[in-house]
Amino acid sequence: MPVTECLRDRSSAPVTQHADTENVCRLLAHVPLLEGLEPPELARFARGVREQNVDKGTVLFHRGDPCHGFHLVLCGQIKLAFTSAEGQEKVIEIMRPGQSFGEAVMFMEKPYFVMAQALTDSRLLHIAKNVVFEEMDRDPTFCRRIIAGLSQRLHHLIADVETYSLLSGRERIVGYLLREEESSGEPGLCGRVSIRLPTSKGTIASRLNLTQEHFSRILHELAEAGLIVVEGRTIHIPDVERLRTTGARY
């Protein structure tokens, strides 16, 4: 069951320090690092779980704060970013439901090197590092699963560096729009689809290592070419295959 479906009957629940063990175990089963664990194993993690409801704009942690565990996003969006002394921001990642963050810093036992802020009203689980470390001591298979998960994160990071280094701004934006279209899971009529940008254009531009002005200019160029239609944060794609095959060349 998707994480978002797990929350449908809990959307009006009050903030609790420790959620019900059965519900927590059901949600923990969606954590990538915990997939495949049996209910008794998940129950050991549940005692180290804290449920969090946060409002839009809430900072979960700042760079330099101590790390006491990692987070799982149940609903909403969380931005991970660097902020310079001058206030300039570079978005590293936008975390969505079902994704977790903070594991690498937790294992290094170092302070956070990014900040995390809620882009929307969000619900999360915080899994304490002591229960993770105890399970690692108990189960070598779990250790291998963690190594595989962190290796996958490293692979994604390398892919990001490759994208920023080798692809033009237009190629990055076209690729982003196509990924959003694929993740929406809603087939369009005769190749036409509409996608809703999950957050502001400025945040997406930073995630793609572009200025907001550059991002907006490319959207305008794609619109002039008839490849997209922009209505605020909604992007209509008249022909997905045409955008895929010719969009980066305009």
**pLDDT value, residue 190:** 55
Output the pLDDT for position 185.
58
Query: Residue 98 and residue 83: Cα distance in Å, rounded?
Result: 26
pLDDT tens string 104-140? 899 888 999 999 999 999 999 999 999 889 988 988 8
Give the span between the Cα atoms of 248 and 78, in whole angstroms: 29
What pTM, to 2 d.p., does this model score?
Answer: 0.77
Tally of CB atoms within 10 A around 234 = 11
CA distance 51 to 49: 7
Q: Are 80 and 115 in contact (CB under 8 A)?
A: yes
Q: Write out pLDDT tens, residues 45-87.
A: 888 888 899 999 999 999 999 999 999 999 999 999 998 777 7
